[in-house]
Amino acid sequence: MKRLLSLIMAFTMVFFFSNEQDVKALSCVDVGSPQAALERFGGAVYGEVRQIKADLKQEGFTGTKEKIRYILVEVERSWITEVDSQIIVTTDYTWGYEFKEGNKYLIYISEVDGELISSPCSTTIEMNNPKQAIELFGEGLRPKLQVNLEHKMWFMFEQDIDVYIIVVALVFVVIAVSFMRRARKKKG
């Protein structure tokens, strides 16, 4: 009985410590006018959301897992930051704005480590045409290059594929070992 309780306790402890999660708090400061927000975040784009994908971001096999939402936007106009005709904007899965495919938005963006980010603290406005944004910020910039980034959205998975990679590797090892054993039996 003591052994059984020890085993249960050991498995419980392993499970408890292996599934720890970071807790985050969100505190946003009011940035004021739309122009102040545009300057604070470093740019804005107006366009149609073409695709939404969630992905798990993790450093290595044992790093903290963070769920990220990627938004493919067909850009019509941009302000401050000149962008291509399609961009992928990263948003926080937990606190990010609830985008809908096919709808058009004014999205404040920042560039961080080569990625375009929409902060959960920035304002995102759903609008059918860019007139309101043009009234606020002026004509803005047209996209600099016509690009198609839909292929980049194919490789974003909401599931943790690390386990699948390990299982496939183990299957290959088992197959390789069985072939080696058969080859030795034939020789000897």
Each residue's pLDDT tens digit, 57-103: 766 666 677 778 889 999 999 999 899 999 999 887 667 778 899 99
pLDDT at residue 11 in the model? 60
Most confident stretch, 2-11, 75-84, 120-129, 149-158: 75-84
Element (H, E) at 165: helix 162-187
**If we measure between CA atoms, which residue out of 75, 178, 83 comes closest to residue 133?**
75
- CA 65, CA 83: separation in Å to the nearest integer? 29
Each residue's pLDDT tens digit, 23-54: 555 667 777 888 888 888 889 999 999 998 88
Q: Is 149 helix (H, G, I), strand (E, B) or coil?
A: coil
Question: For the residues 131-141, what does the mean pLDDT come to?
Answer: 89
Structural tokens at position 157: 């998975």
pLDDT at residue 130 in the model? 86
Give the rounded percent of residues in the chain with a pLDDT score beyond 90: 22
DSSP-derived secondary structure letter, 64? P
**If we measure between CA atoms, which residue out of 157, 159, 111, 104 comes closest to residue 130?**
104
pLDDT at residue 37 in the model? 86
pLDDT at residue 61 in the model? 61
Within 13 Å and on the Cβ side, how many CA atoms surround 88?
20
Q: Kindly give the pairing relationship between strand 104-108 and strand 44-58.
A: antiparallel
- CA 10, CA 170: separation in Å to the nearest integer? 26
Instruction: Give the start-end residues of each E strand in 104-162.
Output: 104-108, 110-112, 115-118, 124-126
pLDDT at residue 156 in the model? 65
Question: For the residues 128-153, what does the mean pLDDT come to?
Answer: 88
Q: Which of 23-27, 34-38, 104-108, 181-185 has the lowest mean pLDDT?
A: 23-27
Average pLDDT, the chain: 80
Most confident stretch, 15-24, 116-125, 159-168: 116-125
pLDDT at residue 91 in the model? 87
- CA 120, CA 106: separation in Å to the nearest integer? 14
Greater confidence, 135 or 25? 135
**If we measure between CA atoms, which residue out of 104, 159, 169 comes closest to residue 132?**
104
